[in-house]
Structure 1
Amino acid sequence: MKNGPYQFSDIQFINNLHFAYDINAETLLFISQEIKQLLGIGDGDISSAALIQRVHEDDLPLLLEQLKQLKEGNFNGQIQFRARGPENYRWFRMLPLLARSGAQTLLLGNINDITDEIAQVEMIAKYTHKKNSILHMLGHDLRGPINIAQTVLQLMKHDASSELMQQRAQHVSETLTESLKMINSLLSREFMETTDITLYKKRINIVKKIAEYIEEYRRSTTTKRTFTFFSNKDEIYLMLDEAKFMQVMNNLMSNALKFTHPGDTVTVTITQEPEMVRFSFTDTGIGIPEDQLPRIFDKFTSAGRNGLNGEPTTGLGLSVVKDIVSWHGGKIWCQSEVNKGTTFIINIPINISTA
């Protein structure tokens, strides 16, 4: 470490250094010619105030907060922000670091123009969103009406006066059941085959979403289980890829239905804690043998079992669940006891800025 104060001549030729700022003197010591050209500023504009004015107003508060944390020693990472150039705003990624010499503290940094990179990510996100919208339509907008139609058909079969009408109602019911199986198969295949994919996250009231999901099963006359739902708050917001996260719910519900008997109970609980949201998915079914628990999240696991009614297993369902939870920065584990039931627990971290 240098013993005396840093001078302009000491820093201007450091490799990959794009700026240097004396924190104590509040003076911009150096900014590279490359950055000047990107921002469209001349030598007469070389001041920290002039640079700050070019930062996009939506990004400025977070940028200043991250720099404040850096000075306090509580930040270590990259900072992304938009700044106004000669023609329009451009995206930049800054890698800052502190250099101290005696009483002098410098903020040094490397800055890269990532405008094209951000544009590519946004384009991918746009098409991912379109695909997810179709999956959401299949998983929710179509499945819900089909379940309602199933309920109506059950009533028609019960009230039908002739055997012919009962047979016709049964035929339509079987067709709807096959349609649901096709939808579920398509959704499962999609999430099994796309493990390397961009998430399209948005702010979701997950309590409302799961409550609606459970209500669909409550209305169904074919599941013959009791479904309960609890939350410690009426509204809990998370940044999630909705289509993928609901596939977690679909896979866990499918598991619960496969390994419970008619009359058993499936309970979903959401609990918001200071730094995370906890989901628990509990059933009163046959449970999982203790020696199989360590392997249930493995792909093509030998712990996979056919359902109580012979439903087949791919050995992929829970591995997909674990992948999706991991994509959201979360963790999942399982607690189970044979003949007493199973609980899957998911922790998803809260993004403070969106909670």
Structure 2
Amino acid sequence: MKILIAEDDSISNRLLQKSLEKWNHEVISVKNGTDAWRVISSQDSPQMAVLDWMMPGMDGVTLCKKIRKETEGQKTKYIILLTAKGNKDDIVKGFEAGADDYITKPFNAQELKARVEAGCRIITLQNKLSEHIEKLKELDHLKSEFLATVSHELRTPLAVTREAVSLCVDGVAGDLTDMQNEFLTDALSNIDRLSRLIDDLLDTSKIEAGQVVVQKTDINICTLAQKAVKGFARIAKDKRIELTISTPHTPIIISADEGRIEQVFSNLLSNAINHTNEGGEISVTVRDNGEYVLCSVKDTGVGIDKENIPKLFNKFQQFGRKNGPGYRGTGLGLAIVKGLVEKHNGSVWAESEKGKGSVFYFTLQKKHKRNVLLLSAG
């Protein structure tokens, strides 16, 4: 292990160096805080440092703070403070500054060895953990790329298949028997379901990869919400669900991607219809909350247990799912909602009670009106 010693006392410095080299460590030795920082901030810097509390240039506590602040995100730095200060307040001060351990002067060789070995074990474990995290990130990236590629490649043949089946249902290829019509209509429905799954997979992979393009324009979110509700009116009617909307009479203008925010409403409405029994109620509300607009989709559906609420916006999570007519989810809809709302710098959350229903909320920033100052000439 490469170890930095920063100790201005020549005798202590030499004793430390000899001891560490005897235990097969590579040692870099300096005598002030300024040189210690130069070594720490260099390429291939030591991961362990033994720093004297009091030394010229920069004391050990100040150097600790600087290391923790300015090397964050780099390889782990394990810091042992070397101090003649033995009272508890000073020791606490050292830990608060970012030290991992301490040893008092004059030091005991066996104690120093034990503390250094403990630090080496921690560094080794943290390095392994960092490697595993990087591998997982790489695998996750490859998975997202794979999903995006597969989803994209499936779209074209699926669109061609749908068009062919649709033409048959419309009688273009000849008259159909009732049974043939039923089979082809079912096939068309399942093609549409598969298309939604592909779209959801593609959106999810784009969100994870940070590749979602948001094309913002000024839109009236009240009108957009009404449009989304209208699109689900027939499905709600088929399930005898009362679907209502409440918006202010005055337009609320936001700067957002119209298609993406409509997708947010659609996913929340799909989720509500999928989890609400026949005869239930779903209400959409848009409210002006000053700096932002608050939107909600409330249902009288099956609800979920409180412990599952934090997991709602995770991928492939499905709680309290009900079978029946209407949209059948992929387990990705709410994860997409979260990604799209956050892409617009908004927030999303949910409240739910088992057996009573759920409310999903999201906020978006309103379009700020610019004050125009008119200056008269002359």
Q: TM-score, structure 2 length as denominator?
A: 0.46
Q: Determine which structure has more spread, i.e. the larger CA radius of gyration.
A: 2
Q: TM-score, structure 1 length as denominator?
A: 0.48
